[in-house]
Every structure is written in structure tokens, then in C-alpha cells.
Amino acid sequence: MAMPIVSAAAGVMNPLISKLTTLMGDEYKKLKGVRKEVAFLKDELSAMNAALEKLEYMEKLEPDTKNWRDHVREMSYDMENCIDDFMQDIGGADANAGAGFVKRMSRRLKTLRVRHRIAGRIEELKALAEQANERRLRYKIDDCNTSCGSVDIDPRISVIYKDTAGLVGTDGPKKEVASLLTVTEKKLKVVSIVGFGGLGKTTLANQVYDDLEGQFDCKAFIPVSQKPDMPRLLNSLRLKLGINESSGICEVQDIIVNLENTLQKRGILL
């Protein structure tokens, strides 16, 4: 049921790091002259990948940090393209092992040229990685998890608790959403409220919830950020649904199973 969550940063970096690991394997032992540089490049990128993954959880980034993140992502794409070219060239150089002497010598010369080209390009990639890591240290990217984006207040909090008496122009939309939710159909339903930021979507949803909550035995109102803390969000849902037993569950999959079992016992989820 649950799908693994892969961040955008991991989606960029992990394939590249995996290919560099492959280049260090026995299949590419002919690259012994550059394997040390490949290992260095892999370590540098792994350090940057760890920093990128931290930034994925930040709601707001400083301009320098955002520029560094975007630069590293683009650099990763370019590096992966280069590594793909290397693997293709080396793979083609060993084909037709039973060919004649002339072809074998031609292939050997081609391989030497390829090795020389790869060595030069790896040096260039190494220099790019070193520059990016120097910027990471200079901008103190690794400290962003304690200094960037961690103290911002979710702007939806203020509208959730806003006095509805001071709001105008919501009666029509509120009645429309309420009618969609109260149609007597015995099936699960999703009603989406869409629009540009600042139009009052959260306020409207909260008003409808306040008006209708008495008609439902099981209900919860939970704001969700773009990058939520899933265990905390699901545990908040459990509490609002009245599932108060202290089970010590902390894994997302286990919390989901616990919610499903409880809702099935109440006859809410079939």
C-alpha cells in the first residue's frame, strides 16, 4: 500500500553515485589510473547528497542556499551524462574478443584514447565537485537544518482560527461544498477546493468543517504542509479520531495499518 518516498535530491544524486560505484568495480578495472579520482568524486558527491536531502525538508531557503542546491542538481545531470558516455565507450572497446590482430590493435588504441579522455574528464568533474563542496562549506549549508526554515509559522494557522463573523463572500461557496459532502451516497468521497494562494481555501474548508462536524461520528480537520512530517501528521489524525491508546507506534506503515484496523472496526472503512 505504502510507496517509498524519494526526495527530489535523492532522485538526482543517487543514480549518479551508483554509477560511480559501478566504475570502481571489477568490470571497469582497466580504469585503474582514474579509479582513485572516481572514489574521491563519489565521496564528494555523497557529502553533497546528504546536504541536499536536509534541504528537501526546508520550507524556505536563503538565496545563496537555493542557488547552491539548483547548481548541484544541474551539475549532477551533466556528470551522469558524462559517466553514461564513459560506460558506453569502455563497453564497446571490449566487444568481439575473437577478432583478428589488426582489429585487436585498433581496439587497444581506441581504448587507450578513451582512457586518456576519461581521465581528463574525471579531473574536470573532480574540480567541479570540489568547487561545489567549497561553496557548501562557505555558505554553511549543513547548518541550514537548524538556522533555515525551522521557525516559520504556517500561514494557514491564522486563517484556521480567524473569526468567521468578519469574513464576507463565503456563504455561496460554503453551501456548495457542504451540499457536495452531504449527498447521501454510501461511498468514499473527495471534494477539492482549488485556487490561487490567498483566496481563502483553508478558511472556507474550516467553515464547512465547523458547520458539518456534528453530522458525522468520525471527523478530523488537519492542515497539511507541502512537505509534512508524516508520522506526526498521522499520529495527529489518530488523536483527532479518538484513537488515544498509547501504542508506541512510530513507523508510517504501522500507523496506517493501525488507522485502517480501527476504522474498519467502527464500520467506517470497508
Segment 103-121 shows an average pLDDT of 70
Decide: 177 and 191 in contact? Cβ < 8 Å.
yes
Q: Where are the domains of the chain?
A: 8-147, 153-216, 222-270
Name which residue leads in pLDDT, 147 or 187: 187
In sequence order, the 6+-apart residues with CB closer than 8 A to the CB of 172 are none
Segment 136-153 shows an average pLDDT of 64
Q: What is the pLDDT of residue 41?
A: 92
Among 4-8, 106-110, 139-143, which is the least confidently predicted range?
4-8
Instruction: Give the model confidence (pLDDT) of 66-100 as tens digits.
Output: 888 888 888 888 888 888 888 777 764 444 444 56
pLDDT band at 209 (very low <50, low <70, confident <90, very high): confident
Q: Identify which of 163, 178, 129, 115 has the alpha carbon closest to the alpha carbon of residue 16.
A: 129
Q: What is the pLDDT of residue 215?
A: 85
Segment 11-30 shows an average pLDDT of 80
- Dihedral, CA of residue 173, residue 174, residue 178 and residue 179, to nearest 10: -40
Q: How far apart are the first and last CA of the chain?
A: 15
User: Would you say residue 3 has pLDDT above 60?
Assistant: no
Supply the mean pLDDT for the chain: 75
Number of Cβ within a 10 Å radius of residue 131? 12
Q: What is the pLDDT of residue 6?
A: 41
Cell 580504469 belongs to 31
In sequence order, the 6+-apart residues with CB closer than 8 A to the CB of 235 are 249, 255
φ and ψ at residue 4, rounded to 5 degrees: -65, 135
Cα dihedral across residues 28, 31, 36, 38: positive or negative? negative
Q: What is the pLDDT of residue 5?
A: 38
Q: Identify which of 129, 5, 141, 138 has the alpha carbon closest to the alpha carbon of residue 62.
A: 141
Q: What long-range pairs does 146-151 form, CB within 8 A, spacing at least 24?
A: 148/58, 148/60, 148/61, 148/62, 148/65, 149/58, 149/59, 149/60, 149/61, 150/58
Segment 103-118 shows an average pLDDT of 68
Mapped onto helix, strand or coil, the DSSP state of residue 30 is helix
pLDDT band at 155 (very low <50, low <70, confident <90, very high): low
Decide: 65 and 141 in contact? Cβ < 8 Å.
yes
